[in-house]
Amino acid sequence: MTPKIRAQGLSFYYGAVRALHDISVEILPNLVTAFIGPSGCGKSTFLRTLNRMNDIIPGTRVEGRVFIDDADIYRPGVDVVALRRRVGMVFQKSNPFPKSIFDNVAYGLRVNGMAGSRSELAGRVEESLRQAALWDEVKDRLHESALALSGGQQQRLCIARALAVRPEILLMDEPASALDPIATQRIEELVYELKKAYTIVIVTHNMQQAARVSDHTAFFWLGRLVEYDRTDKIFTNPAEKLTEDYVTGRFG
Amino acid sequence: MRGRALDRAFQVLALLVLCLALAALGALIADVWRDGAARLSWDFLTGFPSRRAENAGIWHALTGSIFVIVVTAALAVPIGVGAAIYLEEYGTRSVAARVIEINIANLAAVPSIIYGLLGLGLFVRALAMGRSVLAGASTLALLVLPVIILSTREALRAVPPSIREGSYALGATKWQTVWYQVLPVAMPGILTGTILALSRAIGETAPLITIGALTFVAFAPDGLWSPFTVLPIQIFNWVSRPQPGFQVNAAAAILVLLALLLTMNAAAIWLRDRYQKKLR
């Protein structure tokens, strides 16, 4: 299978601090890839290099290359705005816009000139909300504020919002870390559904979650990629002693 | 226990200070009310200046004040908000940016008569606007610009970064993010700061006298190039007259000016609440 995302010797600096050391990894399409590791290991930073979200933090610098479909996203002249439409992102803390549920989902379509006619727009909003398994809960109050939703619903709204612009890749940065177990389960079921159509990369603190939802797992430690393999291999028979110590809960 | 006593003492002290401030304002209003309330009438509001105190009105000054402040807002708000957006969202953290920042903070503290001198030299003479509404409004716009820029930047900075990130992650450009997400969230703060700045401008006398606004105008301003006067100048003029009738007129005009100010502040609060409700 041709990889969807390929990082090559990627290093990342916050000012003088080197947060990522020479990461090389290939992420396959239509699978869920989990990034695990202790806090500060660089897994979120790496995730954010994949849609150049780190660009908005002043004083940061990237070395190395990241290819998506064989095109380097860090080459000069890349349209970062178009890149971010193709590579969607869901954040750790749900961040719905202080607008209506409908407008939250429609926003990405509007700013990308994908809104079309009124009924087309409404259709896309409905489709996205259904994909995110939120439609039935909100269909009667689409024009009420998104901030009135529960935490789990807000996070699924953020997923719907990301899906609306039809990305190819969905990056999820600890999407369930602030949610209760039932809401978490719903997000995990959703991830399982979505991988049929998307390439999903999920950062998680929770090793059971990585084991449940992912096909491949990458273990990061102190800004380095220690081991990357099939999830069952990482959790049952890792090659590195450090990985084994982490997944068995000896540190982290 | 000691902590709680201290807490209580501080609470009482704060309440006392508040009462003092309110009492000063109350005394001022009561005094002016006693002197001028009887003079307030429709004829007073719609009348023109006269040598006879009982015939004099404030229509020219009231319309002048409103006209000048509307033009001031039309000039200062777009420029001020635009400058703040540039500094906060687009500007880099360079040395030049920091120098500009410090200078804006300093400009906010410059005495208003200095702006009057600048307005006289720049707008009245160099740009040949004369003693017009436009020259007065331009001068006042310069005066309130720093305050509008500072309060707008404050409001923009208070917008949570997660909203910006969410917008960028959907493929929005910087401008779309600012226009559709950041500005609506910052709007209550921007409006409050702007209206408070404008309420300061409406009470300004010195810079307008400096640029040569007339103290005796017998007509309402009828265009941007029209000569004008404003309420504070009319009040200043009447207070300096020896006849007691004009003192009464001044008190009544002060009441009108206060009413105008309170209306503007009430509008600020109303707009802020409306926006906050819309966001919730």
Least confident range from A5-9, A188-192, B185-189, B246-250: namely B246-250
B170·A97 Cβ contact <8 A: no
**Under 8 Å CB-to-CB from A252, ≥6 apart: which residues?**
A37, A38, A246
Judgement on whether residues B64 and B154 belong to the same structural domain of the protein: yes
What are the residue boundaries of the structural domains of chain A, listed by start? Answer: 5-97+167-247
Q: Which CATH architecture has domain A5-97+167-247?
A: 3-Layer(aba) Sandwich (3.40)
pLDDT, tens only, A64-90: 999 999 899 999 999 999 999 999 999
Judgement on whether residues B74 and B24 belong to the same structural domain of the protein: no
Is residue A31 over pLDDT 90? yes
B169·A51 Cβ contact <8 A: yes
Q: For B175, name the nearest residue in chain A, comparing CA atoms only.
A: A111
Distance (Å, whole) CA B239 – CA A79: 66
pLDDT at B272: 80
List the beta bridge partners of residue A145.
A100
Q: Which of A51, A91, A110 sits opposite B166 (nearest CB)?
A: A91
pLDDT at B278: 65
Distance (Å, whole) CA A89 – CA A202: 10
Is residue A134 over pLDDT 60? yes
Judgement on whether residues B19 and B52 belong to the same structural domain of the protein: no
Is residue B280 over pLDDT 60? no
pLDDT at B164: 93
Percent of chain A with pLDDT over 70: 100
pLDDT at B215: 63
pLDDT, tens only, B187-245: 888 988 898 888 888 888 888 887 877 666 767 777 777 777 888 888 888 888 888 88
pLDDT at A69: 92
Residue A145 contacts B, CB cutoff 8 Å: yes
pLDDT, tens only, B116-154: 888 888 888 888 887 888 888 899 999 999 999 999 999
Judgement on whether residues B184 and B100 belong to the same structural domain of the protein: yes
Judgement on whether residues B31 and B68 belong to the same structural domain of the protein: no
pLDDT at B40: 79
Q: Mind telling me how many Å the CA of A37 is from chain B's nearest CA?
A: 24
Judgement on whether residues B199 and B93 belong to the same structural domain of the protein: yes
**Between B206 and A20, residue with greater pLDDT:** A20
What CATH number does the domain containing B114 carry? 1.10.3720.10
Q: Mind telling me how many Å the CA of A232 is from chain B's nearest CA?
A: 31
Is residue B1 over pLDDT 70? no
Length of chain B: 280
Total number of domains constituting chain B: 2
**Between A26 and B215, residue with greater pLDDT:** A26
Judgement on whether residues B29 and B101 belong to the same structural domain of the protein: no
pLDDT at A225: 94
Judgement on whether residues B24 and B118 belong to the same structural domain of the protein: no
Q: Mind telling me how many Å the CA of A115 is from chain B's nearest CA?
A: 13
pLDDT at B124: 81
Residue A98 contacts B, CB cutoff 8 Å: yes
User: Which residue range forms the structural domain that includes residue B247?
Assistant: 40-279
Q: Mind telling me how many Å the CA of A100 is from chain B's nearest CA?
A: 9
Sheet holding A199-203, edge to edge: A87-90, A169-173, A199-203, A32-36, A216-221, A224-230
Judgement on whether residues B265 and B126 belong to the same structural domain of the protein: yes
pLDDT at A25: 94
Judgement on whether residues B84 and B60 belong to the same structural domain of the protein: yes
Is residue B115 over pLDDT 70? yes
Is residue A252 over pLDDT 70? no
Q: Which of A85, A107, A112 sits opposite B180 (nearest CB)?
A: A107
Is residue B248 over pLDDT 90? no
pLDDT, tens only, B36-77: 777 777 777 777 777 777 777 788 888 888 888 999 999 999
Q: Using 50, 70 and 90 to split pLDDT, how confident is the model at A238?
A: very high
pLDDT at B267: 85
Q: Which two tokens stand for residue B156?
A: 């923009």
pLDDT at B279: 60
Complex ipTM: 0.90
**Under 8 Å CB-to-CB from B146, ≥6 apart: which residues?**
B104, B105, B107, B108
pLDDT at B62: 85
Judgement on whether residues B148 and B217 belong to the same structural domain of the protein: yes
Judgement on whether residues B136 and B8 belong to the same structural domain of the protein: no
The answer to whether the CB of B251 falls within 8 A of the CB of B44 is: no
